[in-house]
Structure 1
Amino acid sequence: MIKFTIITSTYNCADLLRKTADSIRNQTYPFKQWIIADGASEDRTLEVVNQNNDVVTNLISEPDTGIYQAWNRALKLIEGDWVIFLGAGDYFYSHQTLEKIAGKLTNIDQNIHLAYGDVHLIDKNDQQLCVYGQISEGWEFLRPKLPPHQGTFQRAKLFESEKVFDESYKIAADSKFLIKALVISTLEYLSEPIVCMDASGVSSNIPNTRNTYIELNRLRKEMNLSTPYSHRIFFCTYIYAKILAYRIFPKRLCSMLLQLKRRIFGFRF
């Protein structure tokens, strides 16, 4: 039987983590491992972990430089055949999610190392903002279109080296990993809802917009991506319009406009 490894990076996110723990506990599929890589939280996060030790398989808790160092530390503990990364506050779409996906991955071609499904972006009230489904060919955010990492299952063999994620990035290392993985694998769309994703992640945070652009532009150059010039102009204009709006308007209004834009257009940040 297929075994899943779920990896979650945490830092001072006690309340959010409860939601993720409940979701994993309620999965009808029994063959799963949950690794929590904590950055030495100072709130009640570790207390929440201990309260959920029936579903937490492995815990690492030590200071880290960010999510990617935390993920890299978790890789050596992987026991599953397929790996998925969930943020604190993310949760599986239904109790049967892993059971349904296991059935689909059992018969998948051995040369396919990446498989993904639908991701539902939600606000703090668990209201749906938009759904990221099957992706088409093209460009977004200065790089090829990619599925959200929270909805992507990766074969464990992709994580056999010690440091898979480039820790010099703070936001875009998962994009870099997926682009490199696509050199040896195609993407398989599973046509199933996978996860409800919290919209307040680091690359979704308005103050991080400028850093997101800087990292994605760096990624474009490092990976020698042939991003169309027209797309580069469009994306740069969009980013600076967003930064300008944040400087002019109150933060709450900007957040409301961002959610409205997501409902209409579905952009991830």
Structure 2
Amino acid sequence: MKISIITVCYNSDATLEKTILSVGGQTYKNIEHIIVDGLSSDNTVKIIQKHQDKIAHWISEPDKGLYDAMNKGIEMATGDIVGILNSDDTFFSKAVLSEIALFHTKNTIDASVGNIIQHKADGKVVRAYSSKYWKPEKLKIGFMPPHPSIFFRRTLFNTLGFYELGFIIGADYELITRFFLKANISWKYSGITTTAMLVGGLSSSGSSSYQLITTEIQKALTMNGLYFSPFKIKMRFAWKIIGFLKK
């Protein structure tokens, strides 16, 4: 089983090398690492060139944003399954892709969902984000599994489409809604902690970001013809707190 890992980047010279080494250091070797750079002006391309022996394909050219770059990477992919690893993130352990390959071999599924951790620059873990209790119906109240923990069968993109470019930070939500809820793909919780994410990403930067993703969640559900309660989506942070207290 070949696994394609897509990394998109732009002016990522402070973190990209760790990401590349994280993929190259996996115990599983049937990996295709694809890097899509948005024509960086720093030393990003030099870092890519330094590690070309670990990278299957890479390009550096202008794009229409994060999701356009992801689409380019997926179109280049030839693996059986596809995962996303951001340019400031790493795999949780050296065995992650071995575990993912084994899980997909044992289960006839379109996708697996797992867990991630979020950490500060000093390595301190600030959050463990699990998909254990997630179900597709929760998309209607604003909850999705951690995007980097999802591994998709590559051919799904050919039949169900790619990331929609009409979103700023919510195209991953729309794609997950389209795949898991509208198309009802087969999936299973893997229990695997896949990714260590550096906090401070595009969709985790304060109240303005919260308002934007709230709007884009509703847009994603509307595009896919799904009924939802705008109030419940706006109040999703409160539902998280209530759920935590119940546990």
Residue pair 1:121, 1:198 contacting (<8 A) in 2 also? yes
Q: Distance in 2 between matches of 1:6 and 1:233?
A: 33
CA root-mean-square deviation: 2.4
- In the alignment, which residue of structure 2 is the partner of 1:220? 221
Deviations 1:47-87 (A, max 9, x none): 11111112111112111121111111122211110100111
TM-score (norm 2): 0.87
Q: Distance in 2 between matches of 1:14 and 1:142?
A: 37
- In the alignment, which residue of structure 2 is the partner of 1:72? 71
For 2:146, the aligned partner's letter is: P
TM-score (norm 1): 0.80
Tell me the SS of whatever aligns to 1:221. helix
Residue pair 2:214, 2:233 contacting (<8 A) in 1 also? no
Q: Distance in 1 between matches of 2:213 and 2:234?
A: 16
Tell me the SS of whatever aligns to 1:37. strand
- In the alignment, which residue of structure 2 is the partner of 1:33? 32
Tell me the SS of whatever aligns to 1:158. helix
Count of aligned residue pairs for this structure pair:
237
Deviations 1:134-179 (A, max 9, x none): 1334536844x32111011000111226961101112111111111
Runs of 4+ in 1 over 6 A off after TM superposition: none
For 1:23, the aligned partner's letter is: S
Matches within 5 A, 1:1-269: 2-109=1-108, 112-133=109-130, 134-137=132-135, 139=138, 142-143=141-142, 145-160=143-158, 164-182=162-180, 183-206=183-206, 207-228=208-229, 230-235=231-236
Residue 32 of structure 1 and its aligned partner are, at CA, apart by 0.2
Q: Distance in 2 between matches of 1:234 and 1:88?
A: 31
Tell me the SS of whatever aligns to 2:55. coil
- Unmatched runs of 5 consecutive residues or more in structure 1: 239-260
Tell me the SS of whatever aligns to 2:33. strand
Q: Distance in 2 between matches of 1:118 and 1:232?
A: 22
CA 1:228 to 1:139, structure 2 compared with 1: closer, same or farther past 3 Å? farther
Calculate percent identity across the aligned residue pairs: 27
For 2:74, the aligned partner's letter is: L
